[in-house]
Amino acid sequence: MSQPVFTQTTIAMVWDFDKTLIPGYMQRPLFEQFDVDEGQFWREVNEQADEYRRRGCEQVSDVLAYLNHILQYVRNGRFSGLTNQKLEELGGQLEFYPGLPDFFGEMKRLLASDSRFAQHDIALEHYVVSTGFTRTIRGSSIAPFVDGVWGCEFIEALDSENPEIAQVGYVLDHTTKTRSVFEINKGVNKYPEEINVNASFPDDERRIPFNNMIYVADGPSDVPVFSVVKRLGGRTYGVYNPGHDKEFLQVKSLQEQGRVDSIGPADYSTGSQTSMWLRATVQEMAERIISERESALGSKVGEAPRHLND
């Protein structure tokens, strides 16, 4: 009998970023650094996308539109000298919702400190899947607690003494976020040379099964990932900025549609509703993993032989 590739004892918490971990958008420090009006920038992006459609472009990526507009601002001098290093430095200015980034470390310790979970090598990993900048996320205070980041990336010009970002290197939009969760599921991120995301292999051979996965996000743009994770056995949770009626109504609608298992305010401090739900869900997953492993072990070992009495 062949050995399983993975023990499937890892639990993954997969996070959106903007309005899920931080109150606004991660581009805000960039706009402030270069004295650019944030609202005007996004209006220009929307107008640009509409113009592309008027010119006959049937498939317009909103994410690619904003990335191209960033590059246009670099070319016209509004973001003069913008580099990947600068994007990473700006990540240090991001302010997170209450309880973060400490909550990420606490969740890892929740499993590591329990001897029963440790005996079965049950561990927790955090992943961020965002349409924002990978480099900005990696420069933020949450980065030391994160096991992987999927986001958008730029390539710098190579023919300059002071290279600026000049091309889009990678785009992650609301639909292709689903590819990221399959990479986590199969273990592509850990073994990129050995495993391809399009490779077909049984569910019980994948590194993190979907029923070991929790996806946390804030809005309708996350519906494709919510749907995939929930349909394949994972758990989903919607968050909103406390005191913002529109954001609350968005996630309430997702719950009524069955897109998410539960909703709560984006407050991750100890004792908050969201903190307690996520903690309880992770513990439930860990208990299920133990139960399944012990059941499988019992069925394989069988009962020891005994002496028979007359």
238 pLDDT exceeds 60? Answer: yes
- Judge whether 219 lies within some domain: yes
How many domains does one find in the chain? 1
Strands (E), 180-303: 213-217, 235-240, 262-265
Structural domain harbouring 243: 10-23+96-160+169-299
- Judge whether 40 lies within some domain: no
194 pLDDT exceeds 90? Answer: no
Mean of the per-residue pLDDT values of the chain: 90
Pair of tokens at residue 245: 């009626």
pLDDT single digits (tens) 41-86: 999 998 888 888 888 887 778 899 999 999 999 999 999 999 999 9
- Judge whether 48 lies within some domain: no
Angle, vertex CA 176, rays to CA 173 and CA 182, nearest 5: 140
For residue 1, what pLDDT is reported? 41
Residue 25 φ/ψ region, left for φ over 0, alpha for ψ in the -120 to 50 degree band, beta for the rest: beta
| 203/193: higher pLDDT | 203
- Judge whether 174 lies within some domain: yes
- Kindly write down the DSSP assignment for every residue of 100-135, as one continuous string: TTHHHHHHHHHHHT-HHHHHTT-EEEEEEEEEEEHH
Q: Is residue 13 classed as helix, strand or coil in its secondary structure?
A: strand
- Judge whether 73 lies within some domain: no
Predicted model pTM: 0.90
- Judge whether 1 lies within some domain: no
Report, as an integer, the average pLDDT of 230-244.
96
Domain CATH code at residue 102: 3.40.50.1000
- Judge whether 211 lies within some domain: yes
- Judge whether 249 lies within some domain: yes
Q: Which of 61-70, 98-107, 173-182, 193-202 is the least confident region?
A: 193-202
For residue 298, what pLDDT is reported? 62
Report, as an integer, the average pLDDT of 207-219.
96
Q: How many CA atoms lie within 13 A of 202 on its CB side?
A: 6
Pair of tokens at residue 6: 């993975």
